[in-house]
Amino acid sequence: MADRSLRGMRLGAQSLQSEEGVTFSPRVGHTYRCETCGRETVMIFSAEAEAPDEWECKYCARTATRLVDSMPVIVDHSDEKIPRTHWDMLLERRTRDELEELLEERLSVLRLRRGGQQKIGA
């Protein structure tokens, strides 16, 4: 350690690494067009990766579609599941009549509790 000296550098001045001997993987550019704003964006992917048919537009954040031979790819959304809401799951377990009956029971309990309290400051 005595024969080597450490030298100081300014922060952000330059990198000590070089690109010598580095082999970059092959890249492919795919063009996406946004139907909302009409702009095209080129995204760079690895040549081995499968490019998605849709990408978020970097200008308006809407969905942009990949172009193949200057034509947009047709995206099939038929196999996507529609998210279920809490109401949908509740209706799978109970009928509307049962839910209305439960609501009336809870409202009557709340009304009794509210009516039984004394007003403060009166």
Instruction: pLDDT tens for the chain, 122 residues: list them.
Output: 556 666 666 676 677 777 888 888 899 999 999 999 999 999 999 999 999 999 999 899 999 999 999 888 888 878 888 889 999 999 999 999 999 999 999 999 999 998 866 555 44
Tokens, residue 28: 């492919």
Residue-wise over 53-74: b if at least 16 C-beta within 10 A, else e?
Answer: bebebeeeeeebbbeeeeeeee
Domains of the chain: 26-70 (2.20.28.270), 83-116 (no CATH)
Q: What is the pLDDT of residue 105?
A: 95
SS3 for 47? coil
Non-local (6+) Cβ contacts of 24 within 8 A are: none
CA distance linking residue 36 with residue 57, whole number of Å = 9
User: 104: which 2 tokens?
Assistant: 């009336």
**For 87, phi and psi rounded to 5 degrees?**
-65, -40
What is the per-residue pLDDT for 19? Answer: 80
